[in-house]
Amino acid sequence: MVIDLDTVQVDVASLSLNENIHINQIGYRTSATKQVLVNGQADYFAVIDKDSGEQIFAAALEKGARDAGSEDNLYVGDFTKVRDSGAYYIAVPGIGMTDSFRIGEDVYEDLKRGLLKSFYFQRCGMDLDRKFAGDWEHKACHTSKGKIYGNEEVEMDGNGGWHDAGDYGKYVVPGAVAVADLLMTWELFPNSCKDDINIPESGNGLPDILDEARYKLEWLLKMQDDDTGGVYHKLTSKSFPSLALMPQDDTSELFYSPISAAATADFAAVTAMASRIFENYDRQFGQLCLKASEKAWIWLENNKAAHGFKNPGEISTGEYGDSNYYDERLWAAAELYRATGDSKYGEFFKSAYSTSGLRSFEFGWQSVGGYAGLAYLFTDESKQDKAVYDYVKMSLINVAKDRLRNSQMSGYNITLGFGDYYWGSNMKVLNDARLLILADMLEPSKDYIDAAASNFNYILGCNTLDQCYVTGFGHKPVLDPHHRPSKGDSVELPVPGLVAGGPNSGLQDEFARINLKGLPPAKCYIDYSGSYSTNEVTIYWNSPAVFVAAAFSEPERSFYALP
């Protein structure tokens, strides 16, 4: 159907907001591919200028794919040709209209800052002053020393770091991954990383993303055993506190869980990574990180038979257990080789890369093969083995092509397959977007970028639930996350900038089992704090979101602007 803009006009006055019309609720860069997805049959759609009320574009809606995850029958409208900066909304005759969204080169700036600022709100052990935290201020929390579980007469300072998620635990494994994501973001997209998100360190000449990473790194360094180099797995209370308890009111005893191989390897990797980056800003801190990393590697060499971590005795907080930590060792070796050039690390990587967890090329706390591979790909060319480099690159590209195929089969153009709606599915959405962006860097392709952007669009509202999965952003943001400070304070709205876990067909909490039973996988989400299996937040769901937002904000990248 050909739409003549001179003769076809949408009667906007007859339409109301309809959540079956899906867009990125934040908006689009001027050069980006732009699509509206409609769950319902209609012939055409129009783009309306919010300020003038004028219809500035109209086009046909084409029948799209049936989306397996949601069971939606979708119609697709393309408005990529709309490139002028401004605020707009979509109108679909017979169905309704969207709320407004923006088009512009700076469209993700506020979101990017908010996603990063969320780490400040997760800080432990310091006052969050109103000057920086606004309504979400609170006093310092968890400042007491922690006891070594099983050896309680020994107490150590564990102050600092970030709370992991909706609880107040501090964990090495996910914390190391979150720090790595922030450091990776700065390395690849430095022009997107400013010194202006209003944290206590803002204005010190160091990008705020590095200030925030350092706050966690300084805590990680406290988790290393001075004698052996091994790293304690976590510092938590014995059990989770009540949901509405503010952090400063949580006076539970804190315990260091035993040293683990996964924690030690992840620690070795991220401190080696940090040593390179901070060398140019604070040489002493960079050297401290490198020394700690090398010491952790010695522990790994001396404990090759170490088994996976299990919660000890009375400890019931997040386990973050991993029975196979070979990919973590590979990551540690790759980062140490990149940082030092020492052949022993390069030889370990070379001997192990093809039989390790690298084959999955995943990003996340449980599978870190992607971090290992990326560290090797970005190692100085003079230190690389070409055969190894080619294999690692091929591994990344092959996974990216697989994700691209998933995207092309999805009604919502996302990389999630039918079975991928599990606990923290939004982490996979964001990590897949990251992977596709990296693939584009190695083998430029507009298809990779479009698929990555579609995943980002999904997080920001272009999904079956019309849900923006970030607190404080979009016209339908997350309002009631499983996040103790947001429940315990007197502020109506939750802490902003937090990414929710997203649809989880496993229904792993009682509220989800009662209210979501029988729904398609993509609809197994509820914005309720009691549904921790769909609506909790974590630092390692936010960290890839920071990466993706920075990538799509990078001023030096056009992302394939149309001629």
Q: What is the pLDDT of residue 448?
A: 98
pTM: 0.96
Positions of the chain with pLDDT lower than 70, given as ranges? 1-6, 356-359, 556-563
Catalytic annotation present for 536 = yes
pLDDT at 2: 58
**Catalytic (active site) residue 4:** no
pLDDT at 66: 94
pLDDT of residue 5: 52
The whole-number pLDDT of residue 353 equals 82
Pairwise CA distance, residues 455 & 476, whole Å: 17
pLDDT of 11 reads 86
**Two tokens at 23?**
């867009």
**CATH numbers and ranges of domains, the chain:** 12-103 (2.60.40.10), 109-468+536-551 (1.50.10.10)
N-to-C CA span, the chain:
25
Determine which one of 167, 327, 480, 554 is catalytic.
167
- Residue 272, CA distances (Å) to 172, 180, 288, 366 in order: 15, 10, 10, 19
List the strands of the sheet with 21-22, edge to edge. 21-22, 35-39, 72-78, 62-67
Q: Which long-range contacts (CB under 8 A, 24 or more apart) does 315-318 make?
A: 315/149, 315/236, 315/238, 315/239, 315/255, 315/257, 316/238, 316/239, 316/240, 317/167, 317/169, 317/234, 317/236, 317/237, 317/238, 317/239, 317/240, 318/164, 318/165, 318/167, 318/169, 318/171, 318/234, 318/236
Residue 251: CB atoms within 10 A of its CB come to 12
Give DSSP secondary structure letters for 367-399.
Answer: --HHHHHHHHHTS-GGG--HHHHHHHHHHHHHH
The active-site residue, picked from 208, 420, 450, 536, is 536
Determine what percent of the chain is predicted with pLDDT higher than 70.
97
Give me the pLDDT at residue 83, please.
96
Q: What are the tens digits of pLDDT across the range 301-319?
A: 999 999 889 999 999 999 9
Instruction: Report d(CA 472, CA 474) in Å as an integer.
Output: 7
> Any idea how long the chain is?
563
Among candidate residues 138, 142, 482, 483, the one labeled active-site is 482
CB 385 within 8 A of CB 350: yes
